[in-house]
Amino acid sequence: MIENLFEYEFLRNTFFTGLLVGIIAPLLGTFIVVRRLSLIADALSHVTLAGIAFGLLLEKKYTIGFLTPFYTGMGFSVIGSIFIEKLRSVYKAYQELAIPIILSGGVGLSVIFISLANGFNTDLYNYLFGSVSAVSRNDLYSILAISIVVIVILTLFYKELFTLSFDEEHAVVTGIHAKRIHFLFILLTALVIAASIRIVGVLLVSALMTLPVAASIRIAKGFKQTIILSIIFGEISVIIGLVSGYYLEIPPGGTIVLTSILILLLVIAFKRLHVSYAEKKVIQ
């Protein structure tokens, strides 16, 4: 793949997109994991699927150039995120209820749009599991723009988001506007999901947001370190996953996620060894 990378534009697009997604998915994922919102990412990815199916339907029936499945997916994801926030404030005592409601809604809509478009095709398959060949130059530019927006906003609101994630009551007492920051955060989540789906696919996007974090949280000291390690693990997974997916002719979603799981297992084993070694030292 490395030598083909310079030869074929689609591979280059995929590779750069993968590198971008390998940064922003674990970056945002760290906040998602510590706020125990991992399942929200899943719910949103299924809403995004509905948007993509809607876009594919539009493509098939009409020719509206600018409304590609990528953009309709992103639009649905953003709308879904707004619904989740609304539902979470309606069901204050059962905030997790928002997840099955939004998730099933997304799947229901997807089924309808897919059958209206007369069933499955390779495009849809690529969106479900990711693809090494589906990224156009326009997609790459859009994802680059999203990545810049996400990184800039997260840097600007880092301390507020961090403070809110740790202890919402205390943050509110000191005068932080919890509602607005929440809203911003869920919007960013929607954008990152839409961007990542090109590479890892709908079904596995939440894995790329959470598995690298699950690994780094075991060994990192502090929040910043957790973020940095998560991004490193995310990048390793994306690179190994893309290259092996290309050679094995497997959708990269599968290989990326399996690489993440392998890293996670290695980290857990490493931690075990480390702890038992330290205990032995204490005993001696």
Partner 1 sequence: MSESLVSMKNVSYSYETTKALIDINFEIKKGAFIGLVGPNGGGKTTLIKLLLGLAKNQKGSIELFGTKINKFKDWNKIGFVSQKANSFNKGFPATVYEVVSMGLTAKVGYFKFLSKADRRQIETAVNQVGMLDYLHQNIGDLSGGQQQRVFIARSLVSNPELLILDEPTVGVDTENVRKFYDLLHNLNEKQNISLLLVTHDTGTMTHHATDIVCLNKTLHFHGKPTEFTNLSDRELSNIYGHPLNVVTHNH
Instruction: Provide the binding-site residues for partner 1, judged by CB under 8 A.
Output: 34, 36, 156-157, 159-160, 162-163, 165-167, 169-176, 217, 220-226
Nearer to partner 1 among residue 220 and residue 232 (C-beta): 220
For residues 157 and 154, give the distance between their C-alpha atoms in angstroms, rounded to a whole number: 5
Q: Least separation, in Å, of the C-beta of 147 and partner 1? A: 20
Positive or negative CA dihedral for 177, 184, 159, 264?
A: positive
What's the gap between Cα 141 and its chain centre? 18
Nearer to partner 1, 3 or 169 (CB): 169
Say if CB 54 and CB 44 are below 8 A apart.
no
Kindly state the smallest distance separating residue 240's Cβ from partner 1, in Å. Answer: 25
Question: Please, what is the Cα angle at 200 between 2 and 243, to 5 degrees?
Answer: 20
Question: Smaller CB distance to partner 1: residue 13 or 165?
Answer: 165
Least separation in angstroms between CB 278 and partner 1: 13
In the complex, minimum distance from the CB of residue 124 to partner 1, in angstroms, rounded to a whole number: 38
Helices (H), ranges, the chain: 2-5, 9-34, 38-61, 69-90, 98-116, 122-129, 137-156, 158-166, 168-174, 178-200, 205-219, 223-248, 252-283
Q: Could you tell me the smallest distance in angstroms from the CB atom of residue 21 to partner 1?
A: 23
Nearer to partner 1, 173 or 283 (CB): 173
Minimum CB distance to partner 1 smaller for 135 or for 229: 229
Report whether 251 contacts 126 (CB < 8 A): yes
